[in-house]
Amino acid sequence: MKPNRVLVVGSYVVDLMSRTPHMPRTGETVLGGPFRMGAGGKGGNQAAAAARLGAKVSLVTKVGDDEFGRSAMSHFQAEGIRTDWVTVDPEEATGVALILVDDNKDNQIVVSLGACGTLSREDVEKVEADLAASDIVLIQLETNLDAVGTALNLADKHHIPSILNPAPYQPFDRTWLKYAAYITPNETEASALTEMEVNDPDSAASAARLLADWGARSVLITLGGKGVVLRESTGQCWHIPPYQVEVKDTTGAGDAFNGGFAHALSVGKSALEAALYASAVAALSVTRVGTAVSMPQESEVLELMEDQRNHVKPIAFVEGS
């Protein structure tokens, strides 16, 4: 089997997470706990997910010259993530994410990007040779948009498929849809992007059709407990039902999906096969507390897929319905 090389361009932050019985109202102090600290950031999480599944992952990001930055390097090495393009910023602190998870398993997150927010066009241009040798490029919006646009353009230049995960959502140049081989919003991001209410498979299929009209090739809209809608570049649209698992913490589920999707594509799976695989990765991640630490191994993913193969079967949409 050929090496499957995944290049991730994006964020790394330290997750500072606490459980809370309910989300605090304005001015309210809530006694919560336990508290957990761990590796996070969408780029870091997606890189960890792909690496644990067997991909050869390089991460392009920035950390601070501080204790969090040093722990980040140790984390990358432990996960087998290449750090050639992880830059230590002498001025900015390593980013942090403040996370609350309530008794309903819902979460609220505030991210302070710090060093990874300064990732620049020049930082991405330095990795052009590695990018051109990759099988898949995976990018999010949790960093400087100049870096995002540069990565998409370089991937297109070298004919390397790219995945644009528009999270956390912020307005971006719509022409980017034509450069990304795949775009992977959740329902909230799809709603913001299309200005349509997306909350079920039918509305997701309509939003995916609009994104295709705007130039997107393959669109995957993740719907949490309602599964995933995939619109392939051919126009064929599918609903993938969710895997049935016991949910403990949904934080990082989207990152698990994107890392799993990138890994599956890098080993030659079709978009539909990769979406089924990625859905299993995300399902397993929510059975554990945390983000990067919750990412599963491939053996676990294959076991879940085998156990639920009769339940999770893609359902085809009829175009125009």
Which residue ranges make up the annotated binding site for ATP? Answer: 186, 222-227, 254-255
Q: What is the tens place of the pLDDT at every residue in 101-136?
A: 898 878 888 889 999 999 999 999 999 999 999 999
User: E strands, 90-240, where?
Assistant: 94-102, 107-114, 136-140, 162-165, 182-183, 218-222, 228-231, 237-240
pLDDT at 26 > cutoff 60: yes
Q: Where are the domains of the chain?
A: 5-21+34-316
Whether 255 sits among the annotated catalytic residues: the reply is: yes
pLDDT at 2 > cutoff 60: no
**Amino acid (one-letter) located at 122:** E
Instruction: Judge whether 127 and 7 are in contact, CB under 8 Å.
Output: yes
Instruction: Judge whether 278 and 261 are in contact, CB under 8 Å.
Output: yes
| Local structure of 176: helix, strand or coil | helix
Q: What is the tens place of the pLDDT at every residue in 195-232?
A: 999 999 999 999 999 999 999 999 999 999 999 999 99
Q: Which tokens is 221 given?
A: 């809209």
Which residue ranges make up the annotated binding site for K(+)? Answer: 249, 251, 285, 288, 290, 294
Q: Which of 89, 123, 135, 255 is catalytic?
A: 255
Please list the residues that pair with 281 across neighbouring strands.
none
The neighbour count for residue 202, using CB atoms within 10 Å, is 13
Which residue ranges make up the annotated binding site? Answer: 13-15, 41-45, 142, 186, 222-227, 249, 251, 254-255, 285, 288, 290, 294
pLDDT at 241 > cutoff 50: yes
Q: Higher confidence at residue 17 or residue 60?
A: 60
* Class at the top of the CATH hierarchy for domain 5-21+34-316: alpha beta
Please list the residues that pair with 121 across neighbouring strands.
none
Please tell me the distance from the alpha carbon of residue 198 to that of residue 262, in angstroms, as a whole number: 24
Task: Classify strands 56-64 and 5-9 as parallel, antiparallel or unpaired.
Answer: parallel
pLDDT at 156: 97
Residues 160-176 have a mean pLDDT of: 95
pLDDT at 186 > cutoff 60: yes
pLDDT at 1 > cutoff 70: no
pLDDT at 320: 47
Instruction: Judge whether 313 and 234 are in contact, CB under 8 Å.
Output: no
Which residue ranges make up the annotated binding site for substrate? Answer: 13-15, 41-45, 142, 255
Please tell me the distance from the alpha carbon of residue 126 to that of residue 144, in angstroms, as a whole number: 16
